[in-house]
Amino acid sequence: MKQTPQKTVHNWCHYRVQSRSDKDVEDCTEYTIYATGKPCPFYEYRMGNKRISVKVFRKLCLECMGESSNMVADCEQENCSIYSYRFGKNPARAGMIGHRGGNLANLRRKPLLTVPDKDKTDRTGTTVRRLNSAQTPPTLP
């Protein structure tokens, strides 16, 4: 089941405090991770109310794997709730414009409107001159 990054963090915190109660997650005192002595990167996002950058997942995965990006890439813990975010990218956005690996061809500028080459009268009776594809619009001073 795919989850948003916020929901993933919230579920991760439930797992860490070993409770289904939101109150237990809210009362979490593990601002510092005892194994590393570093602050928990999920602490301020634990209730799922604050938007989290997926880069925070990468940070935790690097800590888990001894700061080795190769070990993060080779991680086989597919049952880990943050496994799909381990590269610091949101897998739900894969293929979207602006996302690494997205289709950059879609970024090319396309005409917003195709207009016929003939003149047209608008609803007030004024003739509106249309440019054909060979003409260029006048430049502003």
Q: Where are the domains of the chain?
A: 5-94
Rounded-to-integer distance, Cα 99 and Cα 103, Å = 8
pLDDT range class, residue 122, cuts 50, 70, 90: low
Q: What is the pLDDT of residue 95?
A: 74
Amino acid symbol at 61: C
pLDDT digits (tens, 9 = 90+) for 80-111: 888 999 999 888 887 776 555 445 555 555 55
Contacts of 130 (CB under 8 A, 6+ apart): 115, 116, 117, 118, 119, 120
18: pLDDT strictly greater than 70: yes
End-to-end CA distance of the chain: 57
DSSP letter (8 states) at residue 84: G
Q: What is the pLDDT of residue 72?
A: 92
CA-CA distances (angstroms) from residue 115 to 71, 90, 130, 132, 137? 56, 40, 7, 8, 13
Q: What is the pLDDT of residue 43?
A: 83
CA 39, 40, 41, 47 torsion-angle sign: negative
Rounded-to-integer distance, Cα 7 and Cα 11, Å = 6
Rounded-to-integer distance, Cα 45 and Cα 26, Å = 10
CA-CA distances (angstroms) from residue 31 to 36, 42, 46, 53, 100? 12, 9, 11, 18, 32
Tokens in use for 74?
């080779």
Contacts of 15 (CB under 8 A, 6+ apart): 81
Beta bridge pairs of residue 63 = none
